[in-house]
Amino acid sequence: MTAVASIAAAQPRNGVTRIVGQSLTMAYRGLLKVRRTPEQLFDVTLQPIIFTVMFAYIFGGAIAGNVQDYLPVLIPGILVQTVVTGSVVTGVQLREDMDKGVFDRFRSLPIARISPLAGALLADTVRYAIATTLTFVVGGIMGYRQVFDHLGWTVAAGLLVIVVAWALSWIFALFGMLARTAGSVQGISFLVLFPLTFLSNAFVQTRTLPEPLKVFAEINPVSHLITAVRTLVNDQQVTGDVWLSLLGAAVVVAVFAPLTVRAYMRRA
Partner 1 sequence: MATIPAIEAQGLVKVFGDNRAVDGVDLVVQPGTVYGVLGPNGAGKTTTISMLATLLKPDGGSARVFGHDVAREAATVRSLIGVTGQYASVDETLSATENLVVFGRLLGLSGKQARAKSVELLERFSLTEAAKRPLKKFSGGMRRRLDLAASLIAQPPLIFLDEPTTGLDPRTRAQMWDTIRELVATGSTVLLTTQYLDEADQLADRIAVIDRGRVVAEGTADDLKASVGTASLQLRLADGGDLAVAEARIRNLLGVQPVASAERAWLTVPLQDPERVTDLLVELRDAGIRLAEFGVQKPTLDEVFLAITGHEADRSTAEEAEKEQVPA
Q: Which is nearer to partner 1, 28 or 243 (CB)?
A: 28
Residues 63-102, one symbol each (x = binds partner 1 by CB under 8 A, - = not), give -------------------------------------xxx
- Contact partners, residue 23, CB within 8 Å, separation at least 6: 112, 114, 115, 118, 119, 122
Q: Which is nearer to partner 1, 107 or 145 (CB)?
A: 107
Q: Does 36 bind partner 1 (CB under 8 A)?
A: yes
Which phi-psi region, left, alpha or beta, contains residue 113 (left: φ > 0; alpha: ψ -120 to 50)? alpha
Please calculate the CA angle 21-27-28 and round it to the nearest 5 degrees. 90
178-197: which residues touch partner 1 (CB under 8 A)?
none
Q: Which of 134, 194, 124 is nearest to 158 (CA)?
A: 134
Among 19, 29, 178, 188, binds partner 1 (CB under 8 A): 29
Give the nearest distance from C-beta 111 to partner 1 in angstroms: 5
Q: Which of 44, 53, 25, 37 is nearest to 88 (CA)?
A: 44
CA-to-CA distance for 181 and 140, rounded, in angstroms? 39
The beta-strand segments (E) located in the chain are: none
Interacting span for partner 1 (CB under 8 A) from 109-117, 157-165, 211-219, 231-239:
109-117
Which DSSP state fits 53?
A: H
Among 109, 250, 254, 265, binds partner 1 (CB under 8 A): 109
Q: Are 163 and 83 in contact (CB under 8 A)?
A: no
Among 51, 55, 70, 106, binds partner 1 (CB under 8 A): 106
Among 15, 32, 195, 265, binds partner 1 (CB under 8 A): 32
Q: Which residues bind partner 1 (CB under 8 A)?
A: 1, 3-4, 7-8, 10-11, 13-14, 18, 21-22, 25-26, 28-29, 32-33, 36-37, 100-111, 115
